[in-house]
Homo-oligomer: A and B are copies of this chain.
Amino acid sequence: MRNEIDCRHCPLKAMKVFSPHTPEETAFIHEFRKRELHVEAGDTIVREAATSDDLYTLRGGWAFRYRTLSDGRRQILNFLLPGDLTGLQQEVAGNTPYGVEALTAAQLCVFPRNRLWDLYSRFPSLGYDLTWLSAHQELIVDENLVSVGRRTALERVAMLLVHLYKRSEVLGLVGERGIHLPITQQHIADALGLSLVHTNRTLRRLAGEGLYELDNGHLRLGDLTRMQRIAEYNAIPVRGRPFL
């Protein structure tokens, strides 16, 4: 077991997107947390169709939720960025209806689902936060569903790039070279319901028009306005976002 971070010094606290906790809440969260989990890029965090007793907050790094059909077809449900919570759905379904895999080295905080009642009864504010986080995830999945169901390949790819860019931006992850985008074209294809080949062609087309640049895993958007118009996508304006 590695040395673990005290929740009072959680890196998420430092980001100003996230609403602060009271000292009491922080203390509770720290005590509520079972352990930390550190994984490498490509590692499975939650296995598909297994049972898990845990709730996970992604504290650093990227990951994604996915489901696969028996013949190997895979659908990425959404990408997880720092602050995102996953595992609530197991509370409903019994087992985990999806898998979670790390895209980069990642750190997660693990919470025991069987003590959720403690959280709700002692800190209703945190209960509210859980609901908020769940609703937030659903918003993202809704948006993905609209893309996959009704947008053309070009619109889908534009939408995904804008979406991930905006989410990174809110987290303060924009650097000189743009944002770090640790995904392959296969991931994009799996997220958008496209084939790898067609995803590639579509990306080339967007790049050809100078709408984005990707060098060495770093994404910069050339013309955000035009990209948003193509995608007909406006990021959700998030105020006072909670985390656990």
Contacts and interface: CB of A to CB of B under 8 A. Distances in A.
Contact of A139 (B74, B92, B236): B92
Contacts of A237: 93-94
Interface string A90-111: 0111100110000000000000
B150 A75 contact: yes
Number of chain copies forming the complex: 2
Interface string A67-94: 1011001110100000000001101111
A92 B133 CA distance: 8
Contacts of A192: 149
Interface of A: 67, 69-70, 73-75, 77, 88-89, 91-94, 97-98, 116-117, 120-121, 124-125, 127-128, 130-132, 134-139, 141-146, 148-151, 192-193, 232, 236-239
20 contacts: A75-B150, A77-B145, A88-B135, A89-B135, A89-B136, A89-B138, A92-B238, A94-B237, A94-B239, A98-B142, A117-B128, A120-B127, A124-B127, A131-B131, A138-B138, A138-B141, A141-B145, A144-B145, A148-B193, A149-B193
